[in-house]
Structure 1
Amino acid sequence: MHTSLACGKWMPIGCLNHHTQLFVGDRVTVTFFDMQGELVGLSFNYQITSAEQGEPHSWPRFIAEYINTHIPLVEAGKMTEQGLIVAYRSNQIYALEGCGIERAEITFHCIAKCDDIKTDKPAYDYVYPEKSNDYNAGVKVLQPKTGLIYKCKPWPFSQFCKVKEENNPLYEPGVGQSWNLAWQQVSP
């Protein structure tokens, strides 16, 4: 994607060049500030909803594209001889000089905690309802509808963790009418 910056001087106010692996359910908060504090109307959350979106080379591009489409007086990308280009992995955030926006901060809200930081192993076994026939006592699932992690209770309740029919949401973790008979919430 290529865009050119509008007339005026553009100041760098932040960057999207993190090399962080994100997982389904994680979110990135982009917060904009002026001299008075946070600009709540411009700040936003970007939810990771697929493995592709969480890749270190993907999410900075998706967030830059979101900024360019939805945030006035702010652009994101990599400055080249051809103008501003939204790049993979490394993008700068710019604000039009005189608009009052002074900085942008990126914050990560990761629900996929790692046992060993070097391995990037998520804190859940499956994203609900994938491979639901494998659910048994102790299996942890990420429920995309709530963004929370649930652990299958021990027998005899574990029999309700398996999804037998897609049209039977009674025991669906966090949202089904009787979910707490089969599941225990493990993330806040």
Structure 2
Amino acid sequence: MTAGPHQFVWYHTAPHKTTNWRYYITKQNWNPNKPLTRDQFELTPFCTVNGNGQAPAQRQTMNCNVPERTGYQVIYGVWEIADTSNSFYQAIDVDFGNGGNVTPDETPAVVSEWTKTLNGQIAGNNLNAGDKVIARFFDANGEVASMRTELTIASAEQGDANQWSYDLAQQINNAHGDVRVGVKDESGEINPVHGANSVFVKDGSQLKSVAISYEEQQADVSETIAVSNLQYSKIENGNATVTFHVNTHGDVNLEAHVMNHMGAEKGYVKQDMNNANQDVTMNLTDVTAGHHMLKYYATNKDGTMFAQDVLNLMLEEDSASGNTGSYDFTFPQNIGSYKAGTVVLQPKNGKTYQCKPFPYSGYCVQYSPTANQYEPGVGAHWKEAWILKN
């Protein structure tokens, strides 16, 4: 196998409604002589394909960009279904070659500076002239507004999904030097392709994922929808609720998903709303503290999607539930006030940390997205500043 685009095929023996398919790969330096465990795989899937709560075809083919590796590796596929609490798994052995037995006269493999791949891809649907496609980037605290990149479709030809994904990748590369969009070749170069493009960042980048949204021209749609007043509870025993107000004009079908930061679905609702003015509540299960996204879509009775959006929410543990214990702040909120004994919740892992006594407490306030060595539970030297509480 080589790094880059590959097709993965699933043969589904039962038509379960699907949340998503996710693909993980072993770490470059994993030990194949030890029993295979979760710790030997990368934490973040290199590819996630949303199922949108629909039943898949019996034979389902999907395209994913496989990250750069050498030698023997394992790819682990997860089919997460929506209509039961189960998931199905498949593991495949792959060999990238150049597995470490390099003789002195062989040329070592090129090591790219773009070492990390964000969750999500620059890919999507066919669009029409006048539509707009938007790439939105997220770190652990939510969307990074300065990274948002928009492309207005100028023609029917550019509306082809393979064409606009190439054009948008080019535009992102020209506008933002801290990401590189495309497919990585054997020399480590990353260039856009006419198809699904991955987003690469350098080691130390705070970016975690990318998502695509659309603003589509709808000439003959009279229906409207307005979503407002997004509220959400704190997490108790892995459960939470999300509530938002919906106002519709006409006969509208609303479909909404809540996804965690890695793209796993945690809540789903689909509801017909005819001239509605009401609250909608979603129950979330198996959630942990941190950034989540509410993605909603609105279609009319003809099946035309006329509205969609992505709303950010930052879930926190209820201190009374006993999962995290009480804390003073969610890191890095109010960081200038941290002192010895201050307890913070780290939204990236849902754990709480206490600032060490003097003289180490001075490290607790030393943080920026590009210099996070003392960030609790995450930074390279976090133990010099913090004590893990829960």
Q: Which TM-score band (shorter chain)?
A: 0.5 to 0.7
- Where 1:53 maps in the other structure, the secondary structure is coil
63, 81, 84: which one pairs with 2:190?
Answer: 84
CA RMSD of aligned residues (A): 2.7
Partner of 1:33: 138
Does 2:166 align with 1:61?
A: yes
Instruction: Name the structure where strand makes up a greater proportion of residues.
Output: 2
Is this contact kept in 1: 2:181–2:200, CA < 8 A? yes
Partner of 2:117: 11
| Alpha-carbon distance in structure 2 between the residues aligned to 1:6 and 1:68 | 16
Partner of 1:105: 211
Q: CA deviation at 1:123?
A: 4.8
Which amino acid in structure 2 is aligned with residue 66 of structure 1?
Q
| Alpha-carbon distance in structure 1 between the residues aligned to 2:114 and 2:155 | 37
Partner of 1:45: 150
| Alpha-carbon distance in structure 2 between the residues aligned to 1:5 and 1:109 | 39
Is this contact kept in 2: 1:29–1:43, CA < 8 A? yes
Q: CA deviation at 1:44?
A: 2.1
Is this contact kept in 1: 2:122–2:135, CA < 8 A? no
| Alpha-carbon distance in structure 2 between the residues aligned to 1:55 and 1:108 | 14
% identical aligned pairs: 23
| Alpha-carbon distance in structure 2 between the residues aligned to 1:23 and 1:5 | 40
Residue by residue, what CA displacement relative to the aligned partner does 1:121-179 show, whole Å, maximum 9, x if unpaired?
x759xxxxxxxxxxxxxxxxxxxxxxxxxxxxxxxxxxxxxxxxxxxxxxxxxxxxxxx
Residue by residue, what CA displacement relative to the aligned partner does 1:25-80 show, whole Å, maximum 9, x if unpaired?
11111111111111111112211122221112200000110111111311110122
Structure 1 residues 5, 42: closer, same or farther in 2, change over 3 A?
A: farther
Partner of 1:150: none
Structure 1 residues 34, 51: closer, same or farther in 2, change over 3 A?
A: same
Q: State the 4+ residue runs in structure 1 displaced beyond 6 angstroms.
A: none
**Using CA pairs below 8 Å that are at least 6 residues apart, which structure has the higher relative contact order?**
1
- Where 1:41 maps in the other structure, the secondary structure is helix
Is this contact kept in 2: 1:13–1:95, CA < 8 A? no
1:33-182 to structure 2, matched below 5 A, reads: 33-82=138-187, 83-112=189-218, 123=220
| Alpha-carbon distance in structure 2 between the residues aligned to 1:81 and 1:68 | 20
Report the TM-score when normalising by structure 2. Answer: 0.27
Q: CA deviation at 1:8?
A: 5.1
- Where 1:62 maps in the other structure, the secondary structure is helix
Count of residue pairs the alignment pairs up: 113
- Where 1:60 maps in the other structure, the secondary structure is helix
Which amino acid in structure 2 is aligned with residue 89 of structure 1?
G
